[in-house]
Amino acid sequence: MQDIKAFAEDVKDHLTGTIIPFWKNLRDEEYGGYYGWLGYDLKLDKEAVKGCILNSRILWFFSNAYLLLGEESLLREADHAWEFLRDHCVDRENGGVYWSLTYDGKPEDTTKHTYNQAFAIYALSSYYDASGRKEALELAWELYRLIETKCRDEYGYLEAFNIRFEPEDNDKLSENGVMAEKTMNTLLHVFEAYTELYRVTKDQEVGNRLRFMLDLIADKVYNPELGRQEVFFDRMWNSLIDLYSYGHDIETAWLTDRGLDVLDDTAYKVKLRPITKEITKNIYDRAYIDHSLVNEAENGVVDTTRVWWVQAEAVVGFLNGWQRTPEKTEYLDAAEDIWKFIKTYMVDHREGSEWYWALDQEKRPLEKPVVEPWKCPYHNGRMCIEVIRRTQNVA
């Protein structure tokens, strides 16, 4: 167990010495929120679009960093993100959270996406826990009711809407040449958001929605013949493409396990735990290659790009797998091994940077931005927080 404590200390040093200072330095004191773009060349664009997902994830990150570390400066960062979300990201006329804003806080892309509403709920629930601010919880409830009344049908959660919540094409979360009416990704993050809302409220209606989503994961999204999740679907949950998203599968395994812990419903643990175990095993067997996780496979063709968030989720997912089945020490070894890979290759050691977006097969960084609407401290910051939390009581 000496290794795991050293592993956790190393991760904590990275969180406090690299990730937290980096994101603090992106705070926009003039217009609020956090700057939305830092190029691969490390040039900051102070007038770039500010993604509302980016801001929600930063709010979630600083709230949870404060809950973990107790440093007041972290709560002040969360307060800053909260004020920007409250004052600019929310559409007070039509309801919901915009997709993105101009640098000075005006609506830029007024798409209302279920995924985006979910991340705001996720962040607001954590921020309420950190700050005790009831206004944040009230906004989380407002967005919850909006998702439940406008963003789902009898089969599950829909995706994209215009400013007035009229359905539109899901171009933002569809890829690989398909236009999906439902996605595994959105379902996962609604589940994640409702898990956090349930954790801080224990509201039984939210608990029942978690059960509904757990049934969808088990009965519609998970493919038992292939031992994986499907990714893109039509309205009735028919899969549209042969795509295996390794990062989403390992992320789903641990987020589902966490949701089961929070919900604490024995029947659902019995139903879902075998699935999360199988997903974890298959990712270990199929995607853990050369000390890291490959990206995905479409029609059986593997994309060997090493993407930042996939590595972060793999560390948590394998650590979770070991904690659930301690005899599987290879999972703990994999988590520590991928962390070493991250430190060596994925962390951008240039001054004023954080992690590269992705590496090619030769471990060379791709020239993609260090910060943009999707590149944020949610995955790598959460990885650090989860590793520290999960190892605090290890002897």
Q: What is the per-residue pLDDT across 327-357, written as a single tens digit (0 to 9) for each?
A: 999 999 999 999 999 999 999 999 999 999 9
pLDDT, tens only, 157-210: 999 999 999 999 888 777 777 889 999 999 999 999 999 999 999 999 999 999
Which residue type sits at 87?
Answer: D
pLDDT, tens only, 205-225: 999 999 999 999 999 999 999
CB 74 within 8 A of CB 394: no
Strands 232-233 and 182-183: antiparallel
> Average per-residue pLDDT in the chain?
97
pLDDT, tens only, 33-92: 999 999 999 999 999 999 999 999 999 999 999 999 999 999 999 999 999 999 999 999
Q: Work out the percent of the chain whose per-residue pLDDT is above 90.
A: 95
HSE, side-chain direction, 13 A CA sphere, residue 93 = 5
Task: Round to whole Å and give the CA distance between 388 and 278.
Answer: 25
- Could you tell me which CATH number the domain at 2-391 has? 1.50.10.10
List the structure tokens of 253: 């395994």
* Rg from Cα positions in the chain: 20
Confidence of residue 395 (pLDDT cuts 50, 70, 90): low
Which residue type sits at 59?
Answer: L
Which candidate, 259, 178, 281, places its Cα nearest to that of 215?
Answer: 259
- Torsional class of 370: left (φ above 0), alpha (ψ -120 to 50), beta (otherwise): alpha
- The pLDDT assigned to 171 comes to 82
- The pLDDT assigned to 25 comes to 98
Q: Is the pLDDT of residue 300 over 70?
A: yes
Residue 261 has a CB neighbour count (10 Å cut-off) of 11
Q: Work out the percent of the chain whose per-residue pLDDT is above 70.
A: 99
Cα–Cα distances (Å) from 88 to 103, 329, 355, 359, in that order, read 11, 47, 28, 35
pTM, to two decimals = 0.97
The average pLDDT across 245-259 equals 98
The average pLDDT across 19-34 equals 98
Confidence of residue 1 (pLDDT cuts 50, 70, 90): very low
- The pLDDT assigned to 176 comes to 74
Residue 233 CB burial class (10 angstroms; 0-12, 13-18, ≥19) = buried
- The pLDDT assigned to 2 comes to 54
Task: Round to whole Å and give the CA distance between 342 and 381.
Answer: 13
Ramachandran angles phi, psi of 40, nearest 5°: -60, -30
At 360 the three-state DSSP class reads coil
Cα 231 from chain centre: 16
CB 329 within 8 A of CB 322: yes
Which candidate, 33, 73, 75, places its Cα nearest to that of 54?
Answer: 33
Ramachandran angles phi, psi of 164, nearest 5°: -100, 15
Query: Residue 232's beta-bridge partner residues?
Result: 183
